[in-house]
Amino acid sequence: MFLYLSKLLPLFFYPLGLASICLVVALITLWKRPRTAAIAIAVALILLLFCSNAWVSHWLVRSLEWQNTATSQIPNAEAIVVLGGATKSAFWPRPSADLSEQGDRVIYGAQLYRQQKAPLIILSGGRIDWRGRGAPESADMADILTSLGIPSEAIVQEPDSFNSHQNAVNVKKILQSRNIRRILLVTSAMHMPRSLKIFQHQGIEAIPAPTDFLVSQGEMQELGSSPKAAILNLLPNSNELDQFTSALKEYLGLFIYSLRGWL
């Protein structure tokens, strides 16, 4: 039940969901209470304009992504743990499992293995029913890694996790069974602050190895690089709204997970 609530209830806190609720209120009250309808429409408009411009979304995303940037060379460890959320099911017309936007996690895990940072890759991730049936994400990631030349004997799958807390709990069991103490944790940079706290709360010595950065130093500098750029970056953009929502999701996750004692 918590899984469904954790995925569905926060929709009412996201900009698009809140704006939709405001518009529904406006539609219902339009004839009998036009003042209420006007206020609801104004709130929806302000909400969407504020959350969908590059200035706001970039700063919010950066506040998460830049928390664990590497200050020196990543050290060696006993295993590389790659978290799920990086693949799409191998259903027609896809010839095989595809990498999603977060697919950098899989590629980076392979790169770290090639650099001999660790002799083992642990892939953690199941697949939620309403997000596409098929093989667990761990299996899809394993197929992609083997196609990249990573030996199958260097890969361990953990297919039963449906959220970040389960990732840590289930991976811990694998680490204990293999007497592994130190890992490189690979996930998207925006997801890293929450994931790192969860793994460390489980007593795992996790070294952050973030990837999939959405905001770079160059993109921050481009925001106000010229008067035209500064103005254009204030305009609503669906991609910026998506990034703002993803960052807000992480902050909500940090709050909810802390309430549950998972951090």
pLDDT tops 90 at residue 208: yes
User: What type of residue sits at position 170?
Assistant: N
Question: What confidence score (pLDDT) does residue 70 get?
Answer: 73
Please compute the mean of the pLDDT values over residues 26-54 and round it to a whole number.
96
Question: What confidence score (pLDDT) does residue 135 get?
Answer: 79
Q: Does the pTM of the predicted model rise above 0.75?
A: yes
How large a percentage of the chain has pLDDT more than 70? 93
For each of the domains in the chain, give its residue range(s) and CATH number, in order of start. 2-65+228-259 (no CATH), 75-208 (3.40.50.620)
pLDDT (tens digit, 9 = 90+) per residue, 48-87? 999 999 999 999 999 999 999 876 789 999 999 999 988 9
* Residues 40, 216: Cα–Cα separation, whole Å: 36
- CA torsion 125→130→133→137, rounded to 10°? -10
Question: What confidence score (pLDDT) does residue 5 get?
Answer: 58
pLDDT (tens digit, 9 = 90+) per residue, 17-30? 999 999 999 999 99
